[in-house]
């Protein structure tokens, strides 16, 4: 397939064309299932980023001035092309990220939900209209696109997150620059091809590959009016503080430490199944993955851990090419090593090993970055393994004696992305919803990710600013409001100067 061949040496996508990098600096792209390098991606210089911004800036006025309907037509064609090329895109995702095909299919589907919402951008950016607010003045508002906007994406969803970040931005008339993770750039470039095929004018969609140097240019360049970031909390904070220092509009979504509370009235077998899928799926590399479980009561805890031990023991780690695989490798060698370090220190701090995934069978025959599923019991809130987001298949059990204590444990954490409770009791669910300091809350739903027409956003250090990863609120983030007060004077109307502050509609 031609795309594949072209991208062995990957490019940027600027002004409607693949453009080779000029910096001489590169980053390797691996197949995590084999450990092999499959491509190298150029890391842009500031100057290259500036050129990309310039081409986006030039494309903006014409794109903005198209009617919303014409822009939507292109978004619809893009949606159709993603669907038609889904199988090819799945292979690309799997190869560069190591996730299973089912998982890749799921992420495309969820990503398309953001495209679906963007189809109705013209409806969503309507302003408001009032007749005669006073003094015969009609007052109305409109929402205009910002200009050049940037999105910076993480490695864990090579397609879903970029679509979530950018679809509404494109549809509302902005020129978008995407800087994908340098670990998974191939999917982003493939999407670029589809946008072009859908008829998007050159320059409206840009992919610039790079590292901190590219990011800094995006954050500092005054032509970039908004920055939308999804990634780790550490970098999200940097992006928020730096972007706002340059007076930009910034959405910066960080990591999560997401817990499941299991109440004593729950069917533990069901709860265990829900936990395992949500905890270890995608090798736990999701910001909404369940990080741990908090059973309420000793009996509940003991039973649940026993069930989990049994079920986790049957999980199959392997490559996406094997249909039996439950989850694949982690993204890199460095990541694998870091995860092993977390496990060691947790054990040192007193955590108890329920299942040990440090040396999975497949690691003996493959150079892929594999880790099996590890579960640690008796984790306490002062341990590192509790405090840190761990992007790999080591999950924890924290014991609590009451719902109140369980809520307290979760609220003590600095992150607040996702959380869930398993119970059949309405009162417990209500109390939990009210008191939990977390942005996305599940009740008997293991991964409470909103659908595309609701808003995705965490609380506390999981989200800097007021932005969302996707959802209707994107239409506000990517537009600015203009409010117009309109009056028409008949020639000859008598007036005189009004010095007092106008208190009925902007005029006497």
Q: How far is the CB of 84 from a second copy (least distance, A)?
A: 10
In angstroms, the first-to-last Cα distance of the chain is 70
CB 192 within 8 A of CB 13: yes
Dmax (CA) for the chain in angstroms is 92
In the residue annotation, 287 being an active-site residue is answered as yes
Q: Measure Cα distances from 21 to 96, 295, 399 in Å.
A: 20, 52, 52
From the list 362, 386, 387, the residue with the least C-alpha distance to 376 is: 386
Q: How far is the CB of 327 from a second copy (least distance, A)?
A: 6
From the list 252, 185, 192, 245, the residue with the least C-alpha distance to 221 is: 245
> Whose Cβ is closer to a second copy: residue 31's or residue 172's?
172
Rounded CA gap, 443 and 292, in Å?
Answer: 16
> Whose Cβ is closer to a second copy: residue 401's or residue 504's?
504
> Whose Cβ is closer to a second copy: residue 35's or residue 102's?
102
Catalytic residue (choose from 287, 315, 363, 436):
287
> Whose Cβ is closer to a second copy: residue 10's or residue 274's?
274
> Whose Cβ is closer to a second copy: residue 116's or residue 356's?
116
Q: How far is the CB of 228 from a second copy (least distance, A)?
A: 13
Q: How far is the CB of 349 from a second copy (least distance, A)?
A: 27
> Whose Cβ is closer to a second copy: residue 382's or residue 501's?
501
> Whose Cβ is closer to a second copy: residue 166's or residue 479's?
479
Question: Residues for the chain: how many in total?
Answer: 508
For 227, the token pair is 């920055």
> Whose Cβ is closer to a second copy: residue 110's or residue 399's?
110
Q: How far is the CB of 320 from a second copy (least distance, A)?
A: 11
Sign of the Cα torsion 414, 419, 422, 428 reads positive
Q: How far is the CB of 464 from a second copy (least distance, A)?
A: 6
Rounded CA gap, 233 and 322, in Å?
Answer: 33
- Residues with Cβ within 8 Å of residue 226, at least 6 apart in sequence: 146, 149, 150, 248, 249, 250, 251, 477, 478
CB 232 within 8 A of CB 448: no
Rounded CA gap, 416 and 395, in Å?
Answer: 17
* Beta bridge mates, 18: 13
CB 478 within 8 A of CB 496: no
Q: How far is the CB of 277 from a second copy (least distance, A)?
A: 4
Q: How far is the CB of 95 from a second copy (least distance, A)?
A: 17
| HSE, side-chain direction, 13 A CA sphere, residue 306 | 7
Q: Which conformational region is residue 215 in: left (phi greater than 0), alpha (psi within -120 to 50 degrees), or beta?
A: alpha
- Residues with Cβ within 8 Å of residue 492, at least 6 apart in sequence: none
Rounded CA gap, 488 and 123, in Å?
Answer: 28
**Active site residue ranges:** 287
């Amino acid at each position: 397939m031609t795309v594949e061949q072209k991208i062995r040496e990957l490019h940027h996508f600027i002004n409607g064309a693949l453009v080779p990098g000029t910096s001489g600096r590169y980053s390797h792209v691996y197949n995590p299932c084999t450990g092999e390098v499959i491509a190298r991606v150029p890391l842009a210089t500031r100057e290259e980023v500036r050129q990309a911004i310039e081409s986006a800036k030039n494309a903006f006025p014409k794109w903005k001035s198209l009617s919303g309907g014409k822009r939507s037509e292109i978004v619809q064609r893009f949606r159709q092309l993603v669907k038609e090329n889904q199988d090819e895109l799945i292979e690309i995702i799997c190869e560069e990220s190591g996730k299973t095909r089912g998982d890749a299919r799921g992420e495309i589907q969820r990503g398309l939900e953001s495209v679906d919402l963007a189809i109705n951008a013209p409806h969503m950016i309507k302003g408001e209209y009032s007749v005669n607010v006073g003094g015969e003045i009609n007052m109305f508002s409109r929402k205009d696109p910002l200009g050049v906007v940037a999105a910076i994406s993480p490695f864990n969803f090579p397609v879903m997150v970029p679509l979530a970040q950018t679809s509404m931005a494109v549809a509302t008339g902005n020129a978008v620059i995407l800087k994908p993770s340098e670990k998974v750039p191939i999917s982003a470039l493939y999407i670029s091809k589809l946008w072009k095929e859908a008829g998007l004018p050159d320059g409206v969609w840009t992919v610039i590959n790079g590292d901190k140097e590219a990011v800094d240019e995006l954050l500092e360049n005054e032509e970039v009016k908004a920055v939308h970031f999804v990634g780790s909390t550490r970098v999200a904070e940097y992006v928020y503080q730096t972007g706002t220092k340059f007076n930009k509009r910034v959405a910066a979504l960080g990591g999560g430490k997401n817990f499941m509370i299991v109440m004593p009235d729950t069917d533990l077998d069901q709860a265990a199944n829900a936990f395992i899928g949500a905890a270890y799926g995608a090798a736990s590399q999701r910001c909404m993955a369940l990080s741990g479980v908090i059973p309420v009561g000793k009996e509940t805890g003991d039973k649940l851990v026993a069930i989990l031990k049994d079920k986790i023991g049957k999980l199959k780690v392997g490559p996406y090419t094997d249909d039996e695989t439950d989850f694949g490798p982690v993204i890199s060698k460095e990541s694998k090593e870091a995860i092993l370090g977390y496990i060691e220190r947790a054990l040192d701090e007193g955590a108890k090993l329920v299942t040990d995934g440090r040396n999975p069978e497949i690691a003996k025959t493959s150079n892929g970055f594999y880790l099996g599923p590890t579960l640690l019991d008796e984790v306490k809130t002062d341990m590192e393994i509790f405090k840190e987001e761990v992007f790999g298949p080591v999950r924890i059990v924290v014991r609590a004696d009451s719902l109140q204590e369980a809520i307290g444990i979760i609220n003590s954490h600095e992150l607040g992305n996702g959380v869930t409770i398993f119970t059949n009791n309405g009162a417990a669910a209500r109390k939990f919803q009210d008191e939990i300091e977390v942005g996305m809350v599940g009740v008997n739903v293991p991964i409470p990710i909103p659908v595309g027409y609701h808003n995705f956003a965490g609380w506390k250090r999981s989200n800097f600013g007021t932005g969302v990863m996707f959802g209707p609120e994107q239409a506000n983030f990517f537009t600015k409001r203009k409010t117009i007060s309109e009056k028409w004077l008949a020639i000859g109307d008598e007036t005189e100067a009004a010095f007092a502050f106008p208190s009925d509609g902007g005029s006497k």
